[in-house]
Amino acid sequence: MPTTRKPWAQRLSRRAGDARAGRARRPSVHPAQRRPGLSTDGGLSFQVSCAGQDEVDHYWNGLAANGGSESPCGWCKDPFGVSWQIIPRRFTELMQTPDPDVVARVSQAMFSMTKMVLADLETAAAG
């Protein structure tokens, strides 16, 4: 009675056969990675949670400098086109406040910023 192989076992067997025959298998690579000057589309981003304004300034200035760009709401792109959101931890705390008016004011303040400024967020929270 013949045994049926699982699809993954067939792929492994095929790969092993290629290696034994001296045929190298090329790993699959995203088309953007095949051409020089890799372009990114924003599908990948990073978030940095900062202790205070000094840390926000440090990361923001380092990432947006030398060919990077600034975007609204604490987002910036580094010179390679990778998106980063630089957020003070206090912003997260303010957004978790049970008072919906505080959350609304802090949100509106954040929408008007590029780099988040902690003092302006605190002022908005205070009303």
The pLDDT value recorded for residue 101 is 97
Q: What is the DSSP string of 53-109?
A: HHHHHHHHHHHHSTT-EE-STTEEE-TTS-EEEEEEHHHHHHHT-S-HHHHHHHHHH
pTM of the model: 0.66
CA atoms within 13 A on the CB side of 113: 22
Q: Which CATH number fits domain 46-127: 3.55.10.10, 3.40.140.10, 2.10.69.10, 3.10.180.10?
A: 3.10.180.10
30-46 pLDDT, tens digit each: 444 455 555 556 678 89
What was the pLDDT predicted at 19? 52
Average pLDDT over residues 71-99: 94
